[in-house]
Amino acid sequence: MLNYKFDWSIVTSGKYFEWLVSGFKVTLQLSALSIVLAFLLGLLIAVMRMSHNRPIRWLSLAYLEFFRNTPLLVQIFFWYFGSYKILPTAVNDWLNSTNFEFAAAVIALTIYTSAFIAEDIRSGVLAIPKEQMEAARSAGFSYLRSMQYIILPQAVRLTVPPLVNQFLNLAKNSSLAMTIGVMELTYQARQVESYTFKGFEAFTAATVVYVAISLVITALVNLYNEKVLNIHKAA
Amino acid sequence: MKKLATLFMVTVLAALAAKTVLAADTLAEVKKKGVLVAGVKDSLPPFGYVDEKTRTIVGYDIDFINAIAKKLGVRVELKPVTSASRMPQLQEGHIDIIAATMTKNPERAKQIDFSHTYFFTGQKFITKKGTVKSLKDLDGKKIGTAKGSTSEQNAKKAIPSATVLSFDDYPQALLALEQGKVFAVTTDEAILAGILAKAPGKERFEIPNVQISDEPYGLGMRKGDKNFVDFVNKTILEMEKTGEAARIFTKWFGPATQFHLHRNFKITADR
């Protein structure tokens, strides 16, 4: 006995379709913004991690271990609910009058992912022969400039495949933002389910969209590889 | 590739469809296995919550399940459910009956069958004291509730200009209210009274006399499971006649509790 009737029309047109589209837009904004910020922050942490200054190295190591080893969900709750306890009232009032749910989700996703990205970039840097750094330094570049002009451009190239993984993870992890009321794709799919009880249709639609987002990210990075870095797939 | 994708989809759908194949006669099934598996809330006093001393789930909903199981002569197994998970759990056969503060409404009645109303309440708000006098005070504000509940839909209908934020469960919604992230928390009055009774700093909050809907609760059973639905209805009507239903109400909501609710309903054949 099959007592579930599929009705795909609810997710292809009408009110519920619009909800899913608006959720898709929020997921896209959340992911794109967090990917850019996480990459920049990850780059910074990676450079700090390889610095010759001991306190800076320790600081970045502590950052890494802390944010890599705590669950993302806990971090989201920390930024959204926990930050209230440490911020002054005026700041809290201002945050509460804005779309703080979204901001807290971006902060959590950025910081969490940056820790992984930093390690990937570091492994890329370690793969560059250390003579290159020595050569750069003896040619008169400072440590930061050697990194900027000589080491990082090569390292990032090597790091592209693991970076894609992190970007994909981030896009999918963004669904956890629904726990604090960010109306992204999974939130809206759940919403459609609770209004219509058509959970299979709603979540199938959401799944298709997540796969599409992931494929687009992969395609963009491959394009960047080929056009900008001149790396070809065969290589 | 296209073929492969189609094959994949078909496999997935077939797997999903297989899960919805169910025994049609829960009454016979439950008697045979000797246990009634009920989906209940486990953090929602006084309907269903974990008793601090005994570490078991107790409450108004649970007492109804116990009475039904006793009539059947089987033991009870309680499974915690959330507002969002309870209907799929029932439909997939993980539980036999839902006793989890579930409002009867026409959309849900298309998917499952409800018993007669065993509890009656209305949807209201918890706010910081003195901030809300009428529905107008909530215009354009953020309002918190829990996912998958009717509360969210009612609030959107009653105050279209408000933003309704759905959290995973009510404790988080209350925390958001405490931190000023939402202006009010909305759901059924009896649930709000339970949340408020347990809330730290409860003297700063109140439940203003602003009601946006009627909420009759029913026990949920699988669609078309007539024998079982009839049995449950007969049982709770008897409980009303013998006064047991009223006793259960007084036990959890009466003057000796922190809720002081008045029983303004009777269990009748209302379907």
pTM over 0.80: no
Task: List chain A residues with CB under 8 Å of B224.
Answer: 3
With vertex at residue A72, the alpha carbon angle to CA A70 and CA A75, rounded to the nearest 5 degrees, is 80
User: What is the Cα–Cα distance from B88 to B94, expressed in whole angstroms?
Assistant: 9
Query: What is the bridge-based pairing of β-strands B142-146 and B184-188?
Result: parallel
Of B181, B159, B190, B204, the C-alpha closest to B259 is B190
pLDDT-based confidence at A36, cuts 50/70/90?
very high
Residue B144 predicted with pLDDT over 70 = yes
Q: Does B84 touch chain A (CB under 8 A)?
A: yes
Domain ranges of chain A: 30-185
Residue B176 predicted with pLDDT over 80 = yes
Return the residue of A nearest to B168 by Cα: A179
Query: Residue A234: what pLDDT?
Result: 47
**Residue B168 corresponds to which tokens in the numbers above?**
């995973």
Listed by number, the residues of chain A in 106-165 with a beta carbon closer than 8 Å to a beta carbon of chain B are none
Listed by number, the residues of chain A in 179-198 with a beta carbon closer than 8 Å to a beta carbon of chain B are 179-181, 187, 190-191, 193-197
Return the residue of A nearest to B175 by Cα: A81
Convert the pLDDT of each residue in A72-123 to its tens digit.
Answer: 999 999 999 999 888 888 888 888 888 899 999 999 999 999 999 999 999 9
The CATH class given to the B24-118+218-253 domain equals: alpha beta
Question: CATH number of the domain at A30-185, please?
Answer: 1.10.3720.10
**Lowest mean pLDDT: which of A97-101, B60-64, B77-81, B221-225?**
A97-101
Return the residue of A nearest to B18 by Cα: A2
Convert the pLDDT of each residue in B89-136 to its tens digit.
Answer: 999 899 999 999 999 988 899 889 999 999 999 999 999 999 999 999
Between chains, do A193 and B224 touch, taking CB under 8 Å as contact?
no
How far lies A227's CA from each of A142, A173, A191, A220, B98, in Å?
A: 30, 29, 41, 10, 58
Q: Does B105 touch chain A (CB under 8 A)?
A: no
Listed by number, the residues of chain B in 148-207 with a beta carbon closer than 8 Å to a beta carbon of chain A are 148-149, 152-153, 165-168, 172, 175-176, 179-181
Convert the pLDDT of each residue in A142-201 to its tens digit.
Answer: 988 999 999 988 998 889 889 999 999 999 999 999 999 999 999 999 888 877 778 889
Interface with chain A: mutation pick from B10, B175, B181, B185, highest number of A CBs within 10 Å? B181
Residue B20 predicted with pLDDT over 90 = no
Q: Where in chain B is the domain with CATH 3.40.190.10?
A: 24-118+218-253, 121-215
Query: Residue A1: what pLDDT?
Result: 42
Between chains, do B84 and A193 touch, taking CB under 8 Å as contact?
yes
Element (H, E) at B16: helix B2-19
pLDDT-based confidence at B12, cuts 50/70/90?
low
Residue B185 predicted with pLDDT over 50 = yes
Query: Residue B159: what pLDDT?
Result: 93
> Which of B51-55, B64-68, B254-258 has the highest average model confidence (pLDDT)?
B64-68
User: What is the Cα–Cα distance from A227 to B64, expressed in whole angstroms?
Assistant: 68
Element (H, E) at A12: none
Task: List chain B residues with CB under 8 Å of A87.
Answer: none
**Minimal Cβ distance to A93: which of B24, B87, B180:** B180
Of B206, B210, B205, the C-alpha closest to B139 is B210
Residue A140 predicted with pLDDT over 90 = yes
Q: Report the topology of domain B121-215.
A: D-Maltodextrin-Binding Protein; domain 2 (3.40.190)
- In terms of pLDDT, which residue wins out, A60 or B169? A60
Task: List chain B residues with CB under 8 Å of A81.
Answer: 172, 175-176, 179
Return the residue of B nearest to A90 by Cα: B180
Residue B85: φ, ψ to 5°? -90, -15
Between chains, do B180 and A193 touch, taking CB under 8 Å as contact?
no
Query: Residue B171: what pLDDT?
Result: 87
